[in-house]
Amino acid sequence: MSDEYKIPNHVAIILDGNGRWAKKRGLKRSLGHKAGFDTLKKLSDYIFKRGVKILSIFAFSTENFKRDKEEVDYLMNLLVKKIHDLIKEDSNVKIIFSGRKDNIRDDVLNAIEEVEEKTKNNTEHTLNVCFNYGGRADIVDATKKIAEDYKNNKIDINNLTEETFETYLYNSIPDIDLLIRTSGEIRISNFMLFQAAYAEMYFPETLFPDFKNEDFDIALDIYNKRDRRFGGVKK
Ligand code: FPP
């Protein structure tokens, strides 16, 4: 095995623990999301500086619509008002969104489209914001597009492979190398099921708003100690 320090190409984070962070301080849950957003701003910048090319974040799941209206509205407003803060003029980050575009407010859709348009020519890094996202929905929606293409004679089903299937997902991006879920919960909760097939997983106890750049360095050290075999055997 080489001794070279490995930087994962694609890191994915389930930003969990905002609510508990707020509760511990006697604050409303929404203030936990605000604190989480502030952490995300610093952390995404740092992760890209460390050389990671793609960062995916779970910002809002399809299931999160089950929460109180006040909390859902807060998260929607946070996206509308703050998403532009994730763009730094000198950082060359393309922001893309993965998720269902139906069922979301017009102002949220506009903010999403605006930020995608503004950053579409950036090439160095990609920030994939999973919003109104579910991993199973991603696979089902891809399958519907494939069925549509089949009906219109656009694809030969005998040529459908894992690689071509992947291009029908909300976004065609490489597999996740390192998946982090904060707050001590040990599950992936319907997040990027297709792309997480061979991800190394790390579940720190830290609540997301407290997850600092140094905690990401620890995650990288742990990743470097893992022996990735992708189903093969150790040489
Ligand atoms: C999970 O914590 C977190 C969320 C449902 C929202 C995460 C969103 C952000 C940090 C903001 C990112 C936003 C944009 C606009 C990119 P939880 O509320 O489930 O925490 P708990 O398990 O402690 O209750």
pLDDT in tens, 58-79: 999 999 999 999 999 999 999 9
pLDDT tier for residue 235 given thresholds of 50, 70 and 90: low
204 touches 180 (CB < 8 A): yes
Write out the H or E segment, with its range, that includes residue 200: strand 200-202
Tell me whether strands 125-133 and 93-98 are parallel, antiparallel or unpaired.
parallel
Which residue of 60, 129, 207 sits with most ligand 1 atoms within 8 Å of its CB, as the best mutation to test the pocket?
A: 60
Please give the Cα distance from 68 to 167 (Å, whole number): 35
What are the structural domains of the chain? 10-134+175-225 (3.40.1180.10)
| Largest Cα span, the chain | 59
Ligand 1 centroid to 225 CA: how many Å? 29
Residue of the CA atom closest to atom 24 of ligand 1: 19
The residues assigned a catalytic role are: 16, 64
Which ligand 1 atom minimizes the distance to the CA of 71? 18
Please give the Cα distance from 103 to 108 (Å, whole number): 10
Most confident of 18-22, 85-89, 102-106, 226-230: 18-22
Lowest-confidence pick of 44-53, 71-80, 84-93, 115-124: 84-93
- 109's tokens: 């859709």
Residues with CB under 6 A from ligand 1: 15-20, 33, 36-37, 40, 59, 64, 78-79, 83, 129
Given a cut of 60, whether residue 106 has pLDDT beyond it is yes
